[in-house]
Amino acid sequence: MLTIEGSASLNLVKEQIDESLSIAESNLEQYVEEPDNDSRLRTSIEQFSQIKGVFKLINLPGAAMLCEELEQLGQRIISRRQQNNERELATISGSIMLLMHYLEYVEVKKRALPVLLIPIINEVRALLGKSLITESVFFEINDNPARPAKPGSNEPNRAEIEQTGRRLRHMYQVGMLGIFKHVNVATNAKLMARALQRLDSMAGNTPMAKLLWLGMGVVDAIGSDRVELNTARKSLLGMIDRQIKGMVFQGDSVMKKDPPFPLVKECVYIASLAGPATPTLKSICETYKLDMGGLTDATLRSERDVMRGPGGSVIRSVAEALNEELTHIKDALDLGARGASADTEGFNTTADAMMKVANTLIMLGLSKPAGLFKEQAHIVRGWSVGNVDGESEEFNKVADALLYVENSIATLLPRRGPDASNFEQKAEDAINSNMSVTQLDDARRVVVAEARAGLSLAKRAITSFMDSNWDGMHLTNVPVTLKSVWGGLIFLQLPRAAEVVRVCEQFIEQKLIRDRTDKPSLSTMETLADAITSIDYFLEGMEDNKPIGDGVLDVAEDSMRELGFPVKAA
């Protein structure tokens, strides 16, 4: 469990600690003004040293560690007095302020949660050239039990690992790369989980299987958005990858050795924050008897990121409100084109609504559509009831502006930075084609959904084929289904994915339906499933306009190449 003691003792000494921090801050400011006067900075360092001992005494380990790092950073500045130390001084100043806020938090909330200070501690350690501490540094587990036994042989399947291990590691790395780029984390996590599951099925009940099991829990937690994807968790995924590398290339010497305890501890910590959200996470929580008292990663985020600006949920709310306002404007314009208006004074209300939308667009950084909408609002304000020609060039310009604004709002959600120029260009391209971004997205989602439904049907048929002792009747309709999926992918202009599906259809037709002399091996069927599943993940990434990237197509092509059906370049 996490260390959360120290809040009661803090009340006895907080006034003195606050005074020490104020002295340290004041002397630091004076040192910035007089960098030749080392005594000012030395006074700050002395304050850090004193309160460090107090924090250790009252069991506030996070605060004590931060003060120790600040003490060392101050000494480093003195030793490098001839160099530019602005960044180091700014970090010390920010750390003092954050430490004050942290102590107020402990006093009010009656719990310490030292994990909240890990980001700033690592920021200081980075300036010192030290390795970063892990998130689980303040986390404790009572023991390190074995993972629950799984059915099958206790010994690893070395032949299968040698045959498919590298490809499965590649699959894991493709998903990991997508996660590192923050590209459709959920789908990339599924790809990684698939690779870990396959590797776990080959690892038997060796010690390495325990790490693969814990790794699946970490991937589940990240993929289901139960924990935030930060630098420490990206590093954890990389450490798991290195263990997989040892499993694939070094064999029994790695697989039969207990995984590093710090790595196990970090995985268990992530599972504790995620909670029993999936069967794997539930199994981990039960095995390690985790009880976090309701503490989740979302709780930590809300406490740590108080000063963070509006996130995606806020943008979505604004976009929804703007779309609702646009709907009312479109209704009013539709009535005007029919010779009527809900506004007895003409179109003043509609023009006011357009100006309101334009002002909001300016706040969102969409200045070009805002300016265009304001121009058209002035025109609409001059209209009168019964004197609007729905076929006129003037009315069509207003309709075009409305489409432009609608497209601009539609591109808000996938936006990842403050620069809106790329998204404005998308809206303008759609206007030039007399199409709506929203309508295009809806049509694309329908085709993608149908393609995924076809792949799901094919996977169920293949599963039934395996479960029925290779009864070919279950595969009768699979080629036709995959051909329809191929057509959808061609329509979506996804030639590489379409070519993989075409080759899958050929393999099933030739090797599983026509040629019935030899029963296919379980490994062959799993490799086929890898290819189809990879395409499914690729399409899943398109559903919310969050493409997973072409790396997953490499995995699908590798799988078909392993089956002897190489995919031709699209």
Residue 108's pLDDT is 62
Name the one residue in this structure whose structure tokens are 């100006």. Answer: 355
More confident residue, 529 or 295: 529
Residue 559's pLDDT is 94
- CA atoms 379, 381, 387, 391: torsion sign: positive
Q: Closest Cα to residue 284, out of 388, 407, 168, 141?
A: 141
Q: What is the mean pLDDT of the chain?
A: 84
Residue 179's pLDDT is 92
Cβ neighbours for 165, distance < 8 A, ≥ 6 positions apart:
199, 202, 247, 248
Neighbours of 248 (CB within 10 A): 19
Residue 526 pLDDT greater than 50, yes or no: yes
Q: Closest Cα to residue 365, out of 281, 279, 424?
A: 424
What are residue 504's phi and psi, to 5 degrees?
-60, -45
Pick the range with the lowest mean pLDDT from 208-222, 223-237, 546-560: 546-560
More confident residue, 47 or 184: 47
DSSP 8-state symbol, 138: G
Q: Is the pTM of this model over 0.75?
A: no
Report, as an integer, the average pLDDT of 224-252: 90
| CA 105, chain centre distance (Å) | 28
Residue 416's pLDDT is 33
Residue 287 pLDDT greater than 70, yes or no: yes
Residue 528's pLDDT is 95
Cβ neighbours for 553, distance < 8 A, ≥ 6 positions apart:
496, 497, 500, 534, 535, 538
Collapsed DSSP state (helix, strand, coil) of residue 509:
helix
Structural domains in the chain plus CATH codes: 7-133 (1.20.120), 158-304 (1.20.120), 312-435 (1.20.120), 439-562 (1.20.120)
Pick the range with the lowest mean pLDDT from 141-145, 350-354, 461-465: 141-145
Collapsed DSSP state (helix, strand, coil) of residue 139:
strand
Q: Cα–Cα distance between 399 and 492 in angstroms, integer?
A: 28
Confidence of residue 76 (pLDDT cuts 50, 70, 90): very high
Q: Cα–Cα distance between 175 and 552 in angstroms, integer?
A: 7
Yes or no: say if 300 and 115 are a contact pair by the CB < 8 Å rule. yes
Percentage of the chain beyond pLDDT 90 is 43
Q: Cα–Cα distance between 336 and 327 in angstroms, integer?
A: 14
Which runs of consecutive H residues, i.e. helices, occur in 118-184?
Answer: 118-128, 158-180
Name the region of 275 (left: φ>0; alpha: ψ -120 to 50; beta: rest): left
DSSP 8-state symbol, 563: T
Q: Cα–Cα distance between 495 and 569 in angstroms, integer?
A: 9
Residue 297's pLDDT is 86
Report, as an integer, the average pLDDT of 231-257: 89
Cβ neighbours for 83, distance < 8 A, ≥ 6 positions apart:
none
Q: Cα–Cα distance between 48 and 46 in angstroms, integer?
A: 5
Collapsed DSSP state (helix, strand, coil) of residue 569:
coil
Report, as an integer, the average pLDDT of 306-317: 50
pLDDT tens-digit profile of 316-372? 678 888 888 888 888 888 887 776 655 556 678 888 889 998 988 887 778 888 898
What are residue 37's phi and psi, to 5 degrees?
-95, 90
More confident residue, 110 or 282: 282
- CA atoms 471, 472, 473, 479: torsion sign: positive
User: Of all helices (H) and strands (E), which one includes residue 501?
Assistant: helix 495-507
**DSSP string of 243-307, one letter each residue:** HHHHHHHHTHHHHTSPPPHHHHHHHHHHHHHH-S-SHHHHHHHHHTT---TT--HHHHHHHHTTT
Residue 1's pLDDT is 37
pLDDT tens-digit profile of 369-426? 889 889 988 888 888 777 777 778 888 888 888 888 888 777 666 443 323 344 445 5
Residue 452's pLDDT is 94
